[in-house]
A and B are shown apart, each in its own frame.
Chain A
Amino acid sequence: MSQRAAGGSGSILARFRLRERIRDRDQAVYGILIIAAVLFPLVTIYATDGTALVSQATRAGYFVLLAIGLNVVVGFAGLLDLGYAAFFAIGAYTYALLASPQLASSPAHHAVHLPFWLMLFVAMFVAAAAGAILGFPTLRLRGDYLAIVTLGFGEIVPQLFYNFDQWTGGINAVGIIDQPVLPAWIQGPWSGDGPVQIVRSFNFGGDPVAFYVLICILIAAAVILVSNLYRSRLGRAWMAIREDEVAAAAMGINTVTTKLLAFGIGASFSGFAGAYYAADVSLVSPDSFLFIVSITVLVMVVLGGMGNISGVIVGALVLYYVVFYLIPGLPENVTNLANSIGLSSETTHSLADATQHLNYIIYGAILVAMMLLRPQGLLPSRIREQELKHAAVQEEEAAVEMEHAT
């Protein structure tokens, strides 16, 4: 951001190199992530002779997208949003309703099948609009109050989809959702099973690899767009509001519209992820968007390093692994371990049972341990790091400042 243009005098250049190092860490993380993203399907398909792991990675992918979006709201603008899954639900239902037979059995009596690529943007727009509608009356609230309003919103939205069952199918969920279809020029003669095949047939109908590639592209696009925003007039305005709202307003920043933008842009990523999710899973039910989803994504953001995009991605991946692999897999692993050290089958059973019951306690303990060991997150933004470093001396210095000021 600053360094490219500000490299005027020598002392700035000295700082400049420091800033470059900071950037390098992010670049290194991105590099590793890209390589891992490319190797992952190759290795797992070769090793397991199946694509189950690839579709799991795809699931992790939309949590990454969600975390990137929530990071705009929580990390950049400092607005605590506890109902983020609501926008995810809105995006998912937008696609599900407009690209499935669902509306045929609704009062509209006519199924709609809009193309996925268009619906990605429609879902984005609808979710952003929902964010703006929620934000407009509530963003005058601060801190805890805003959190509670968003919490309420997050509870209401799945209930709406549940109760408007004429349209949404309610508890029966929306199924048979259309798969994305690639435009003809991508599926040209050089792809598929033809004689001049260069690229393998890229068919979304039940091919997890296609979805995997798509989510990687979506994540990459999201990272680029959000990084651009972060280093812009708007990104600075968000930070300013987070740091001191009164001073930001005195500098001419319209705090209400700026916060509204954070909310809307954050929501749009969620809507995006939602449409993608609906296409991938092909089944959307209100149960998929409960409070636990909002909280999981929030934990991903905090754990990864609030405000830092690469950190948030790593946080999302790590937590996804913990929540969806480590914890559910524990009883089995415990059983295996118990067997291998030769415990009786009764003890083995009771051990496995115990781990099963203690699932959430273990999960909680892992979270507590992670936050105690790295309160700033796995890959914190420099700002967060500074904040925590200073937190200890803050009170003391504030007292000194007060003395000066009076």
Chain B
Amino acid sequence: MSQQPAPADNILELTDLTKRFGGLVAVDNVSLNIKRGEVFALIGPNGAGKTTLFNNVTGLFQPTSGRVVFDGRDITGFKPHQVARWGIARTFQNIRLFDYMTCLDNVRVGRHVRMKAKVWDSLLKLPRERREEERVTEEAMEFLRFVGIAKHANQYARNLAYGQQRRLEIARALATEPKLLLLDEPAAGFTPQEKVELMQLVKKILTRGITVFLIEHDMKVVMGISERIVVLDHGEKIAEGPPDEVRKDVRVIEAYLGKSA
């Protein structure tokens, strides 16, 4: 591969990323750089291509053209499980938990990529597999405590309250030990109190040295936690910058904020 090594301060670089579905251009020539350790927000009206962009980064979709460079490595066109292994974790807009697994098991699935047990180890329940299981259970509990739902560890994910499900999804994503965490509308459907708690949680995640890249509709949340914002409209990047600048941008107001302002 002939790409030049990424500057060390960028964790994710998208270069001219385009995704077409037949005649529809969902993501149109978007370039952006996310710095290590920041909170970067992606906003835009419904159907602007935000989730599609996430899907292109995480390998769920293959970009039509353009490049995705993560942590100095060109990950364009790789499969989701490879991308997860290299350190990108995500949550989903419509929560996608393993409904009929316990919270603990959900998070332990998140530990999957950091586990070593092979089929033979598990079949024969070798001591090293047993030890790893115990260790992973402890670690999973730690992640549940981190997001504050440890007491529900042995409940089925689907029996949790809505807000707790969002938290569980974040815990599961964190369990993969990501360098970059993609949150797809983490505050959707939250009460104001829950939104405040979410912002606290995001700040806590940052202290672990994880970069956060989020899609969010709620302007209070976006303005409250993100350092930089990119605005998409009809798949195109129409603005980029710190919250205050973006808020004043005429095109943004027209495309998005204009409706409510």
Residues of A within 8 A of B80 (CB): 246, 249-250
Is B153 in contact with chain A by the CB < 8 A criterion?
Answer: yes
Mark the stretch among A252-260, A297-305, A354-362, A368-376 that contacts chain B.
A252-260
Q: With both chains docked as a complex, state the minimum distance between the C-beta of B169 and any C-beta of chain A, in angstroms.
A: 9
Is B104 in contact with chain A by the CB < 8 A criterion?
Answer: yes
A228 and B124 contact, CB distance less than 8 A: yes
B154 and A234 contact, CB distance less than 8 A: no
Is A118 in contact with chain B by the CB < 8 A criterion?
Answer: no
CA distance A234 to B109 in the complex (A): 9
- Mark interface residues in A231-268 (1 if CB within 8 Å of B CB, else 0): 11111110110011011111111110000010001000
B84 and A251 contact, CB distance less than 8 A: yes
A6 and B60 contact, CB distance less than 8 A: no
Mark the stretch among A9-17, A43-51, A80-88, A336-344 that contacts chain B.
A9-17
B123 and A2 contact, CB distance less than 8 A: no
Contacts A6-B154, A401-B162 aside, 4 further interface pairs with beta carbons under 8 A come to A244-B97, A251-B176, A261-B119, A406-B188
The answer to whether residues A11 and B151 also contact, given A248-B109, A251-B113, A252-B176 and a CB cut-off of 8 A, is yes
Closest to A307 in B: B100
Is B198 in contact with chain A by the CB < 8 A criterion?
Answer: no
Is B19 in contact with chain A by the CB < 8 A criterion?
Answer: no
CA distance A253 to B96 in the complex (A): 15
Residues of A within 8 A of B123 (CB): 225, 228-229
B94 and A247 contact, CB distance less than 8 A: no
Mark the stretch among B130-138, B203-211, B231-239, B250-258 that contacts chain A.
B130-138
A6 and B153 contact, CB distance less than 8 A: yes
Residues of B within 8 A of A402 (CB): 94
Is B38 in contact with chain A by the CB < 8 A criterion?
Answer: no
Closest to A240 in B: B109
Is A19 in contact with chain B by the CB < 8 A criterion?
Answer: yes
A251 and B137 contact, CB distance less than 8 A: no
Mark the stretch among A93-101, A272-280, A284-292, A383-391 that contacts chain B.
A383-391
Residues of A within 8 A of B134 (CB): 4-5
A243 and B101 contact, CB distance less than 8 A: yes
Is B90 in contact with chain A by the CB < 8 A criterion?
Answer: yes
Q: With both chains docked as a complex, state the minimum distance between the C-beta of B171 and any C-beta of chain A, in angstroms.
A: 12
Is B81 in contact with chain A by the CB < 8 A criterion?
Answer: yes
The answer to whether residues A2 and B154 also contact, given A251-B113, A405-B188 and a CB cut-off of 8 A, is yes
A243 and B98 contact, CB distance less than 8 A: yes
B100 and A386 contact, CB distance less than 8 A: yes
Closest to B109 in A: A240
CA distance A234 to B110 in the complex (A): 12
A244 and B154 contact, CB distance less than 8 A: no
A236 and B105 contact, CB distance less than 8 A: yes
Residues of B within 8 A of A233 (CB): 112, 115, 117, 122, 132-133
Is B150 in contact with chain A by the CB < 8 A criterion?
Answer: yes
Q: List 21 A-B contacts (CB under 8 A).
A: A2-B108, A2-B137, A2-B153, A5-B138, A9-B151, A12-B151, A16-B154, A239-B101, A239-B105, A243-B100, A244-B97, A246-B96, A247-B97, A251-B110, A251-B113, A383-B101, A404-B162, A404-B188, A405-B93, A405-B94, A405-B188
Residues of A within 8 A of B115 (CB): 233
Residues of B within 8 A of A8 (CB): 141
Q: With both chains docked as a complex, state the minimum distance between the C-beta of A350 and any C-beta of chain B, in angstroms.
A: 51
B89 and A236 contact, CB distance less than 8 A: no
B81 and A252 contact, CB distance less than 8 A: yes
Is B95 in contact with chain A by the CB < 8 A criterion?
Answer: yes
Residues of B within 8 A of A6 (CB): 104, 137-138, 141, 153-154
A253 and B109 contact, CB distance less than 8 A: yes
8 Å CB contacts to B: which residues of A90-142?
none
Q: With both chains docked as a complex, state the minimum distance between the C-beta of A231 and any C-beta of chain B, in angstroms.
A: 8
Q: With both chains docked as a complex, state the minimum distance between the C-beta of A16 and any C-beta of chain B, in angstroms.
A: 8
B95 and A401 contact, CB distance less than 8 A: yes
Is B172 in contact with chain A by the CB < 8 A criterion?
Answer: yes
Q: With both chains docked as a complex, state the minimum distance between the C-beta of A185 and any C-beta of chain B, in angstroms.
A: 24
- Mark interface residues in B117-152 (1 if CB within 8 Å of A CB, else 0): 101011111000100111001100100000000110
Closest to A4 in B: B134
Closest to B138 in A: A5
Q: Which of B99, B102, B112, B122 contacts A229 (CB 8 A)?
A: B122
Is B85 in contact with chain A by the CB < 8 A criterion?
Answer: yes
Q: Which of B110, B117, B124, B129 is the most central at the interface, judged by chain A CB atoms within 10 Å of its CB?
A: B110
Q: With both chains docked as a complex, state the minimum distance between the C-beta of B130 and any C-beta of chain A, in angstroms.
A: 9
B112 and A251 contact, CB distance less than 8 A: yes
Residues of A within 8 A of B58 (CB): 250
- Mark interface residues in B198-221 (1 if CB within 8 Å of A CB, else 0): 000000000000000000000000
B119 and A234 contact, CB distance less than 8 A: yes
Q: With both chains docked as a complex, state the minimum distance between the C-beta of A258 and any C-beta of chain B, in angstroms.
A: 9
CA distance A401 to B117 in the complex (A): 36
Q: Which of B81, B90, B151, B153 is the most central at the interface, judged by chain A CB atoms within 10 Å of its CB?
A: B81
The answer to whether residues A240 and B98 also contact, given A8-B141, A233-B115 and a CB cut-off of 8 A, is yes
The answer to whether residues A236 and B112 also contact, given A2-B102, A401-B162 and a CB cut-off of 8 A, is yes
CA distance A2 to B121 in the complex (A): 18
